Amino acid sequence: MVCAHCAPLDVEPKSLPVADLENAARELGRLRGRVDAAEAKVLAELAQRSGPGAESFLPDDLKLSTRDARVRVQTATGLTELPVTAAALAQGEITAEHAKVLTRAADTHPVDEAALLAAARAEPADTFTKTVRRHQNGLDDDSGAAAFERLRGQRKAPKPTPPRTRPRTPT
């Protein structure tokens, strides 16, 4: 099968000027997004049909860690609920890491997909993770007060430990 978009795969990097290498890297990033989106569709369908444990074949067949296999299936399933994010991944506008962060956030809190997707398009994945955390903590609205109160409510005082007594030694 000949792929019209696969030209960067056949590149001999040593023969290219820097500008062409940068263009090839960008195109490969977009291709990676398309592949990641296609994989997500397949894994989401597999999870829907197979139920829990759908990722069980991935560690052996794709040489993934069990954790990475589970995360990929969770991300794929989450993308079914975020079609705009799935489309951005398929277009290579965001990375699989952006999609993973966004789907995890959507699993635990209501999110403004459009606003976070705009940030994902503009930020590297590590910065985007912090943006999502701020979004979840409500820093944009209350300077973190909601997150502080939530964490404060989860605190538990440690159990007091009895004082240590040393045996007296005669002097």
Question: Tens digits of per-residue pLDDT, 122-171?
Answer: 999 999 999 999 888 775 456 666 667 777 777 777 777 777 777 777 76
For residue 10 the two structure tokens come to: 């056949």
Percentage of the chain modeled with pLDDT above 70: 87
Instruction: Tell me what pLDDT residue 14 has.
Output: 86
Query: Whole-angstrom Cα distance, residue 1 to residue 6?
Result: 11
Query: Radius of gyration (Cα) for the chain, nearest Å?
Result: 23
| Location of structure tokens 């045996």 | 167
21 to 7, 15, 25, 69, 122: CA distances (angstroms): 12, 9, 6, 31, 22
pLDDT at 80 over 60: yes
Instruction: Tell me what pLDDT residue 61 has.
Output: 84
Instruction: Tell me what pLDDT residue 126 has.
Output: 93
For residue 42 the two structure tokens come to: 């397949």
Q: What are the structural domain ranges in the chain?
A: 16-144
Nearest to 73 by CA among 105, 92, 96: 96
Residue 99: pLDDT band (50, 70, 90) is very high
CB neighbour burial string for 89-98, b if at least 16 within 10 angstroms, e if fewer: bbebbbbbbb
| Location of structure tokens 């985007």 | 128
Nearest to 37 by CA among 76, 77, 9: 76
Instruction: Name the residue type at position 81.
Output: E
Instruction: Tell me what pLDDT residue 166 has.
Output: 73
